[in-house]
Chain A
């Protein structure tokens, strides 16, 4: 299987809200350990629901590994839920 690490870690995120098809773009995030990750590409961003709560999934990379960030639009929280594909 793949080297996927499933997490449930609250992270601090810097995001830009601009125009365009995907107006919300996370730029970087700081993990609980204090390590900062600069996002170089947003692979896919898609909404999903947890009951009637809307959660936006952001699959991103820093060029060294892939990460999944989840933005809960009701609670306004960011979670890091996956780290994978480290080269």
Chain B
């Protein structure tokens, strides 16, 4: 366990596109520049704002607000439906730029990435990192468009680089190293640190750690045994001192999708159709990662509080969240197999108006395995049909062939941009 602050030259760079989707829209549509813009997932006023421009933020508009509420704060607010292909293009351009500087780069989400210059050639690694950061900002403006802005943080590890990228928004450039670490952390609050939200903050304040500086000064033993009660305490101790603990690639554990229903008046049969649509989408995502699953889980969120003790499923803490899952003995990957399980689970959903549905596959494996099955021929036939359908959909466009049950649901259940994972971009 290192007690000192990491004294090495900062070689990790975190790049964060400012208000990414809104900025891309302002880049694409010059008449929207300098105007408050909000990006929505649906063209209705009750939908939630997923991102907004800095002009909108200055008027008090925040992420998660309904568009109707935001419009009261800022009457001139322009609401736009998200346009995933545009954001995907910018994501790939940013990736191309990052690749030019190091073979070791990671996209953390659709609008941020990390470059590890320790793996770069000496000619790049020996350059002044601030100069490289300014060059990247310039390239974003010339290769994508003049309205593109980003925040860049440079530090000895990923956590501090991300922290540095969060300072002086928009268009900031900050360096954190062992010389200014205390000074920077002294200006922040606990929740400004990535990974410290309300629960972790509560853990820390319970033992008298009220500021990031007190967090930095806490010893590893206390963090491990008293605050986090796990190895996470040791990791926080190292992370805050600039030592790398976050250079980890996690395996895909689940694959799912959820959807907030477009109307309160839908019948169970119509909700079932939308669930089927989600299943087809999840099946396609699963196969795009060359994975098979053994388990399927579904959840529903009902309007208000509902009582469901008689149902087979389980209820969440808030009372209106119901979920149920099933683990099969053999792996599967076709839409038909996932739907057969999901439909069975959906039959157990307790009565009440449904607000949101979701489905996910779990216990993912890399292939179907070679174990012989009594139903061998049937499985082979199912695999061949699924592969053929995927090929047709890839060639002629998504959902060229789909089940008759989901005919017409595509108008409502549209493909949206995943915020967390970059696997499917």
Name A residues whose Cβ lies closer than 8 Å to a Cβ of B.
1-2, 4, 21, 41, 43-44, 46-52, 57, 59, 61, 64-66, 84-87
Contacts and interface: CB of A to CB of B under 8 A. Distances in A.
A52 B395 contact: yes
Contacts of A44: 24, 27-28, 86, 89, 144-145
B202 interface: no
Interface in B25-59: 27-32, 43, 45
A44 B45 CA distance: 27
B79 interface: yes
Interface size class of B (residues with CB under 8 A): 20 to 34
Interface in B61-111: 78-80, 85-86, 89-90
B85 A48 contact: yes
A51 B396 contact: yes
Chain B binding surface SS class: helix
A86 B29 CA distance: 11
Contacts of B329: none
Given A44-B24, A47-B89, A66 B29 contact: yes
B29 A59 contact: yes
26 contacts: A2-B78, A21-B143, A43-B28, A43-B29, A43-B30, A43-B145, A44-B24, A44-B28, A44-B144, A44-B145, A46-B86, A46-B89, A48-B85, A48-B89, A50-B397, A51-B394, A51-B395, A51-B396, A52-B394, A52-B395, A57-B86, A61-B29, A66-B29, A66-B32, A85-B29, A87-B31
Contact of A51 (B31, B143, B397): B397
B134 interface: no
Contact of B31 (A46, A49, A52, A85): A85
A43 B32 CA distance: 11
